[in-house]
Chains A and B, each alone.
Chain A
Amino acid sequence: MGSELALYPRLAWSRVRGQVEYRLSFVLMLVGYFAATVADFLAIWVIFLHLPLLAGWTLGEVAFLYGTSYVSFKLADMVVGHLDVLPTLVRSGSLDTLLTRPLGSLFQVITIDFGLRHVGAIAQAVCVLAVACVTAGVPWDAARVAMMPVTILSGTVIFASIWVLGASTVFWTMGNGLEVMNTFTYGGNQMANFPINIYAGWLRRLIAYVVPLAFVTYFPSLYLLAKEDPLGSPGILRFASPLVALGCVAAARFAWGQGIRHYQSTGS
C-alpha cells in the first residue's frame, strides 16, 4: 500500500507525458472539456433568467452546489474514470497479466491512465465555485474555511468509490450493462448540481441516500451557506461527509476484493 502510493505519481506522470505529446490535440481537448462544463452551467443560468429562487435557492447558492459537486466529480473522474475500460481488459484477458504482478490489481487498473484532460472541466468548475463563494453569501469563518477542502475531498472520495463499486460488477457480469454505472456517476453529479429538495422522494432516496450523493455537496453546503434544510434533516448530517466517504471506501474495497476473488479468466 505504502509503496503503491509512492509509485502512483511516477506512473501518473508517465501517462501524462504521453498525452501532452500531441500538443494541439491536447489543448483542444482541454478547451472541449472546458466548453462542455460551461454548457452545463449555462443551463443553470438560463433557468435563473426566469425566476429569482429555485425551490428556495438563489443562483449563487446553486452555483455553489454545482461548483463543489463538479470539482469533486471531475477530480474523481481524472483518477478513476477510466475504470470503464475494465470490461475490455477482462474480455481480452489482459487482466490476467496484471494479476501476476506484485502490485494491487485495482492500483494497476487505475494507473492505466491519468485523465489530465479533465483539468479543463475542473478549471471551469473552480471558476464557478470561486465566484459562488463570493456571491452565495457564505458567512466565512475559520471553521468554514477548513470545511471547504474537507467537503471537496470527501466528495471526490465518494464519487471515486462509486466508480470502483460499479466497475467491480464487471467480474460477475463480464461487463455487460456497465453503462448503468453512468446513472450514478454522471447522473449523481447532475443530481448534486441542484438542491436535492427539488426531486421527488423516491428519486432522492435512490440517488441521494442509497448512493450517498447528498453528502457530496448538499449536506455540507447547508452548513457552509448557513441554510435551513427545507427537508428538515438532522443538523449532524452536515458534518457526516468524511465518515460517509470512509464508509464508501470500505464498501468499494470489499466489492473489488470479492470481485477479484470471483473472477475467472475468460481462458482464451
Chain B
Amino acid sequence: MRLYWEVFRHGFRRYASYRAATVAGLFTNTVFGFLRAYVLVALFAATATVGGYDLSDALTYVFLGQGMIMTVYMWSWWEIALAIRSGDIVTDLSRPFDYQSYWLAQDLGRACYHAVFRGIPPFLVGALVFDLRLPGSPLTWLLFVASVAVAVCVSFGLRFIVNLAAFWLLDYRGVGAISTACGTFLSGFVVPIAFFPGWLAAIAHVLPFRGMIQVPIDVFLEKERGWALVGVLAVQLAWAAALFAAGRLLLGAARRRVVVQGG
C-alpha cells in the first residue's frame, strides 16, 4: 500500500513540473469554454429550457466540462501503448507490484494535480463573465468530488483497455481515435446528453462514457435527487469496477501472449 501511495504522489509531482504546458493548456481550455458557451447563449436566446437545463445550467456544464478534460484525461494517453511498442512492457510486467494498480495510483495522483490546476481555473474565469451555478448544499460538493474521482477511474479503465489493444494491433492510434470520438460525444462532453434525441440518449445511458462527464456534472447541478441520485452514482461506480476487471482480464490474456512471443 505504501508503494502505491508513493506512486500516487509521484503522479502528482510529475505533471507539476510542466508549468508552461499547464498555463498554455489552461488558456486553450478556457478559450474553448467561451467558444462553446456562446453557441449555447445563441441556443438559449431562442428557447428558455432544453432537456431541463436553463442557460445558467448549460454554461455551468460547459465550464465544468472544460475543467474535466484534463482531470479525467479524455484524450491521448498512450504511455502503456508506447511501452508495449518499445518492448519496455516486458520489464515493467516483471516488477514486483501489480501493474494495473500501479498505473491507477499514478493516474489518480495525476488527476489530483489536474483537478486543481486545470480543473478549477477555467470555471473561475467563466464565472467572471457568465452567471454560473454553484451547489447549495455541502453534501452536493462532497458527492461531486466523489463522482469526479469515480469518473477518473472510469476513464482510466477505458484508457487502460484501449492501450492494451497495442498488444494485438501493433499500432494504437486507430482504436484510440475511435474510442476518443465515442468518449467525447457519448460522455456528454460536446453537448449534454439531456439535449440528445430520445434514441441517442438511450444509447448513451447504457454505455460507460457518461460516467466520465455527464454524471459528475449532473451531481454538481443537482439534477438528480434522493434514490435516483444514489442509483446514478452506483451505476457509475459499477462501470468503474467492471472496466477495471475487464482490463485485468485483458492484461492476463496479453501476458500469456508476451510469454509466447518471449524474445
A53 within 8 A of B: yes
A179 within 8 A of B: yes
Nearest B residue to A62 by beta-carbon distance?
B39
* Residues of chain A from 154 to 206 with CB closer than 8 A to chain B in the complex: 173, 176-180, 182-183, 186-187, 190-191, 194, 198-200, 203
Q: Interface extent on B, as a size class?
A: 35 or more
* Residues of chain A from 19 to 70 with CB closer than 8 A to chain B in the complex: 22, 24-33, 35-36, 38-40, 42-43, 46-47, 49-55
- What is the interface of chain B mostly: helix, strand, loop, or mixed? helix
Q: Interface extent on A, as a size class?
A: 35 or more
B38 within 8 A of A: yes
* Residues of chain B from 100 to 159 with CB closer than 8 A to chain A in the complex: none
Nearest B residue to A188 by beta-carbon distance?
B35
The interface residues of chain A lying within 8 Å CB-to-CB of B181 are 32, 35-36, 38-39
Interface stretch of the complex, out of B17-25, B89-97, B242-250: B17-25
Q: Which of A29, A39, A180, A194 contacts B39 (CB under 8 A)?
A: A194
The interface residues of chain B lying within 8 Å CB-to-CB of A198 are 38-39, 41-42
Q: Is the CB of B20 within 8 A of A177?
A: yes
Q: Is the CB of A180 within 8 A of B27?
A: yes
Q: Is the CB of A25 within 8 A of B171?
A: yes
Interface stretch of the complex, out of B45-53, B217-225, B230-238: B45-53
Nearest B residue to A51 by beta-carbon distance?
B46
Report the separation of the CA atoms of residues A26 and B195 in the bound assembly, to the nearest whole angstrom. Answer: 34
Q: Is the CB of B21 within 8 A of A177?
A: yes
Nearest A residue to B36 by beta-carbon distance?
A190
Q: Is the CB of A47 within 8 A of B195?
A: yes
The interface residues of chain A lying within 8 Å CB-to-CB of B177 are 28-29, 31-33, 35-36, 117
- What is the interface of chain A mostly: helix, strand, loop, or mixed? helix
B174 within 8 A of A: yes
Nearest B residue to A34 by beta-carbon distance?
B181
The interface residues of chain A lying within 8 Å CB-to-CB of B32 are 183, 186-187, 190
Q: Which of A27, A36, A38, A55 contacts B180 (CB under 8 A)?
A: A36
Q: Are A22 and B178 CB-contacts (below 8 A) given A47-B39, A50-B47?
A: no
The interface residues of chain A lying within 8 Å CB-to-CB of B11 are none
Q: Is the CB of B178 within 8 A of A25?
A: no
Closest CB in chain A relative to B57 CB, distance in Å: 14
Report the separation of the CA atoms of residues A28 and B181 in the bound assembly, to the nearest whole angstrom. Answer: 12
Report the separation of the CA atoms of residues A38 and B41 in the bound assembly, to the nearest whole angstrom. Answer: 23
Report the separation of the CA atoms of residues A42 and B24 in the bound assembly, to the nearest whole angstrom. Answer: 28
Q: Which of A46, A55, A179, A203 contacts B28 (CB under 8 A)?
A: A179
Q: Is the CB of A180 within 8 A of B28?
A: yes
The interface residues of chain B lying within 8 Å CB-to-CB of A31 are 174, 177-178
Q: Is the CB of A43 within 8 A of B197?
A: no
Q: Is the CB of B43 within 8 A of A42?
A: no
B216 within 8 A of A: no
Nearest A residue to B177 by beta-carbon distance?
A32
Q: Which of B34, B46, B190 contacts A39 (CB under 8 A)?
A: B190
The interface residues of chain A lying within 8 Å CB-to-CB of B43 are 47, 50-51, 54
Write the residues of chain B forming the contact surface with A, with a CB cutoff of 8 angstroms.
20-21, 23-25, 27-28, 31-32, 34-36, 38-39, 41-43, 45-47, 50, 169-171, 173-182, 184-185, 190-191, 195-197, 200
Q: Beyond A42-B190, A200-B34: 12 further Cβ-contacts under 8 Å?
A: A32-B179, A35-B178, A39-B182, A39-B184, A39-B185, A46-B191, A117-B173, A176-B21, A180-B27, A182-B28, A194-B42, A198-B39
Some 9 contacts from A to B, beta carbons below 8 A apart, are A26-B174, A29-B171, A32-B174, A38-B181, A55-B45, A180-B28, A182-B28, A199-B35, A207-B31
